[in-house]
Every structure is written in C-alpha cells, then in structure tokens.
Amino acid sequence: MPTQKFYVEIRMNERLGMFITVYDKEVMEENEVFREKPYNMMVDEEKLVELLRKAVSIILYGRNCIDIGIREKLIHPEAVSSLHGVEVAIFIDTHI
C-alpha cells in the first residue's frame, strides 16, 4: 500500500511555538481552491505525527490527516466541518 503524503506549511512563533497547516495530497492537488496554498514540505504519516505532537496550532484539510488527528486525540470526531467541499478541523493548544 502506498504511503500517504501530506503538504505541510510550518510557521514558527518565537513566543508560542509551531503553527502548522496540513493538506491531504489529494486536497492540494485536486481542489482548485487549495492548489495555490503555501507549503514548506511534503511529509509521510510518520513525520506528520511527529509534527502534530509538537505544534501548538493545527489546521487539517482532508479526511486522511483528520483521521490521524482523531487517532492522536487532537481532534474530536464531531468537531469536523467543511470548507469548499473539503473536510477541515482545527486544534489549538490552550495550555500555553
């Protein structure tokens, strides 16, 4: 089975930490609205989990990365919405 790939934009805030936005590969490549969004890297699931665990703010676009966020207990399954036909979920660490 091929490894899932995710586009990730990482932004660092000196005081607060790492902010990341994650797009399923299919979302970034197949949805006109998201095609031009900025990103810093493409990662596999293992690297994505590592980044999610370090981030203080996470925005997830697409069912694959949302499922990982749910599995990692960062996203509640009922907290998933939709934007331009793409599932989206947000996590913010309030323990900063």
For every one of its 96 residues, what pLDDT tens digit does the chain have, with 9 covering 90 and above? 458 999 999 999 999 999 999 999 999 999 999 999 999 999 999 999 999 999 999 999 999 999 999 999 999 999 999 999 999 999 999 876
The pLDDT assigned to 95 comes to: 75
CATH label of the domain that carries residue 13:
3.30.1860.10
Q: Return d(Cα 6, Cα 42) in angstroms, integer.
A: 5
Q: Could you give the CA distance from residue 67 to residue 62 in angstroms, rounded to a whole number? A: 9
Mode of pairing for the β-strands spanning 5-13 and 41-44: antiparallel
Burial bucket for residue 32 (CB in 10 Å: 0-12, 13-18, 19+): exposed
At 59, is the secondary structure helix, strand, or coil?
strand
Domain range for 33 is 5-92
pTM (two decimals): 0.93
The total of structural domains in the chain comes to 1
